[in-house]
Amino acid sequence: MNKVRVALVGNPNVGKSTVFNALTGLKQHTGNWTGKTVDSAVGTCKFLDNEIEIIDLPGTYSLKSSSEEEFVATNFIEQKEYDVAVIVCDSVSLEKSLNLVLQTLEITNRVVVCLNLIDEASKKGIVINSKKLESILNVPVVLTDARKKLGLDRLLEKIVNFQSREVYQVQYEEKIEKLLSNNNRYLSIRNLEMKNSIFKDKIVNTIVNKSNEIVKKVVNFTKDDYDKKDRFLDKIFTSKITGIPIMLFLLFIILWLTISVSNYPSQLLFSFFNFLEIKIFNFLEFLCIPRFINEMLVLGVYKTLTWVISVMLPPMAIFFPLFTILEDYGFLPRIAFNMDHAFSKCNACGKQCLTMLMGFGCNAVGVTGARIIDSKREKIIAILTNSFVPCNGRFPTIIAMISMFFITTTNKIFSSIISALLLTFIILLGILLTLIVSKILSKTILKGYPSSFILELPPYRKPKFLSVITRSIFDRTLFVLGRAVVVAIPAGFILYLIANISINEFSILHFLADKLNGVGLFLGLDGVILLAFLLGFPANEIVIPVMLMGYLATGSLTDYENLMSLKTILLNNGWTLLTAINFILLTLFHYPCSTTFLTIKKETGSIKWSLVALLIPTIIGVIFCLFVKLLWQLFL
């Protein structure tokens, strides 16, 4: 059986990953190329007597390696450790994709051009003469609709039958060659970084002009207003008047749906795991496992693990699909467009808005998302401020406090709406602090000016719901949950030990809480709350159950029947409205969890920046607590 290695290249938002998934199915894994932190998916498929290995390279607009994604794609293409490079193009915006095609052809002639999204092009009245384009480029050109799996067999046929061709020659190469003083025929923009910027600009313009020239020859627009709908929607979603309000409204809707729906599956999971807990405990006793080990495994590890799953899984299973729908529809880039001016005023990059949005699901994901930012200074700013937006692990805690201390109505619909409104306000406070701290960092330890970047506003597309569910559940929900589970297991051991090992007739848990009580009262809280936050470093989800362990003097995490029973416990232990407010503020502004901390260490490669990421939100949380307590004492 012949083996063929394929490099899959393309701009973002051209359906490259859809092509990859359609070809490889479930035969995929993740590859991490030497020296880089950017992952690329690797998959295999069989066609006739050929085994085809496909490497899905990070999306890139050009082979000028200014970001980690572009470096990985450029480096892989230049090394030529593949048989064929398949360049996936957007049939709706062919001129944009052709820039990458022409740059790739400067490096290698082993290219197959895949014109994807032909169904969208057809709806918009865009007709592409693929035969003529194939003649101009002198490489195979295939029309595909990856979502419907049309044209993929033809694409595989072109890949396996690909024969070496002469080096690509077109008239524009001669024009570029005259611009170079040393007659260098290697024309990649990346190699021109040290050359005169005038040459570089001329080369860029030449490639763009050539792309436009080719498009005029091979593309026919049968509808003059083919993009009328997109432009109309852009006037609404990116307007200075309506853009931000619509963004806030959609945020409110997502939060409201997450709050109102997630409670039911959470309760079911709690009931199911509690049922299994008794069975597992009895089974371990039957195996004659020593009681202390049995309790440590069940009441410590198992209870902590299942608590994290019960709290995290339902909200993520709702939040991530809704978030992915907005992403697929093309709305997220519009949010970045609306927020770009605000981040520019803070001397930060507008792409930071996208990393901030990722942080709503998981701050660790938001930190890794900062790879899309080219400037190292702006990347660090985005990483240091990502924890200001509450992640999925903090949402349930904040929602519980809002429901207990700020909701007076018993109507479930009204209570969920009010909760969503208050949660939206809290999130806006986090966004405001993100901007303020970004500004302070850019004026102090990370001085600099905002960099410019290309922000593509892709066409509005109807989300493919099967793909939405697959990506949001497997790529995001289970990925984040998996990280939390890895942290929760050792955390369960530690929690059980400190709650059951005594010092002078008091458990380590109560001993530490007592030592912290003075600081806690100074902040308008108490020692048990501070200790719960400290022990919640492995996972934010266990803060409330650790508090209950302290208040009720139990040796394991304690369930509560409902929010009213939890409120009663808190009130009996001295909680007031001030305590609830400061608890919410500290939940919003405190150090990131251990998973995010380790991700920051990995992304920055610096323990210094990792510690700064811990200190900044914690200091701000302490300041807020002291400020609110001062106001409380002055006016109430």
Task: Give residue-wise pLDDT tens across range 408-426.
Answer: 766 777 777 888 888 889 9
pLDDT digits (tens, 9 = 90+) for 263-314: 788 888 888 988 999 999 999 998 998 988 998 899 888 888 888 788 778 8
> Is the residue at 525 inside a domain?
yes
Residue 366, helix vs strand vs coil:
helix
> Is the residue at 231 inside a domain?
no
Note whether 213 and 300 are same-domain residues.
no
Torsional sign, CA 52, 57, 62, 66: negative
> Is the residue at 101 inside a domain?
yes
CA distances from 446 to 348, 375, 400 (A): 10, 11, 37
Write out the DSSP string of 106-154.
HH-S-EEEEEE-HHHHHHTTEEE-HHHHHHHHTS-EEE-BGGGTBSHHH
Range scoring the smallest mean pLDDT among 239-243, 336-340, 583-587, 614-618:
336-340
Give the residue, 197 or 97, on which the prediction is more confident: 97
Note whether 169 and 204 are same-domain residues.
yes
pLDDT digits (tens, 9 = 90+) for 155-188: 999 998 874 444 433 433 443 344 333 334 334 4
* Structural contact between residues 15 and 88, judged by C-beta atoms closer than 8 angstroms: yes
Domain-ending residue, one of 221, 256, 284: 221
CA distances from 333 to 66, 336, 351, 366 (A): 20, 5, 9, 16
Note whether 285 and 341 are same-domain residues.
yes
Note whether 202 and 283 are same-domain residues.
no
Q: Is beta strand 50-56 parallel, antiparallel or unpaired with respect to 2-10?
A: parallel
- Of the candidates 628, 611, 326, 373, the residue with the CA atom closest to the CA atom of residue 471: 326
Position 538 scores a pLDDT of 82
CATH number for the domain harbouring residue 129: 3.40.50.300
Note whether 216 and 261 are same-domain residues.
no
Note whether 84 and 211 are same-domain residues.
yes
Mean pLDDT of 473-491: 75
Highest mean pLDDT, choosing among 37-46, 72-81, 103-112, 402-411:
103-112
* Structural contact between residues 573 and 567, judged by C-beta atoms closer than 8 angstroms: no
* Structural contact between residues 112 and 87, judged by C-beta atoms closer than 8 angstroms: yes
Write out the DSSP string of 141-185.
EEE-BGGGTBSHHHHHHHHHT----PPP--HHHHHHHHH-TT---
Buried/exposed code over 610-632 (b: 16+ C-beta within 10 A; e: otherwise): bebbbebbbebbbebbeebbeee
Strand order in the sheet with 28-32: 28-32, 39-47, 50-56, 2-10, 84-90, 111-116, 141-143
Determine the structural domain holding residue 318 and report its residue range.
243-635
Note whether 328 and 274 are same-domain residues.
yes
Portion of the chain with pLDDT greater than 90, in percent: 26
Note whether 280 and 346 are same-domain residues.
yes
> Is the residue at 227 inside a domain?
no
CA distances from 233 to 14, 122, 161, 458, 461 (A): 20, 20, 44, 12, 12
Average pLDDT, the chain: 81
Note whether 208 and 253 are same-domain residues.
no
How many domains does the chain fold into? 2
Mean pLDDT of 28-47: 57
Range scoring the smallest mean pLDDT among 192-196, 309-313, 457-461, 593-597:
192-196
Q: Which amino acid is at 616?
A: I
Residues 6+ apart with CB under 8 A from 280: 298, 302
Note whether 140 and 271 are same-domain residues.
no
> Is the residue at 356 inside a domain?
yes
Flag whether the pTM goes above 0.85.
no
pLDDT for 487 beyond 90:
no
Note whether 498 and 575 are same-domain residues.
yes
- Find the DSSP H helices in 180-329: 197-218, 228-237, 243-286, 291-295, 303-329
pLDDT band at 65 (very low <50, low <70, confident <90, very high): low
Position 263 scores a pLDDT of 76
Position 590 scores a pLDDT of 92
Taking the C-alpha atoms of residue 617 and residue 601, their distance in angstroms, rounded to an integer, is 17
Range scoring the smallest mean pLDDT among 33-47, 74-88, 100-114, 362-376:
33-47
The position carrying tokens 């409670």 is 263
Tokens of 401: 């406090």
* Structural contact between residues 348 and 450, judged by C-beta atoms closer than 8 angstroms: yes
pLDDT band at 574 (very low <50, low <70, confident <90, very high): very high
> Is the residue at 527 inside a domain?
yes
Taking the C-alpha atoms of residue 461 and residue 118, their distance in angstroms, rounded to an integer, is 13
pLDDT for 577 beyond 70:
yes
Mean pLDDT of 354-358: 84
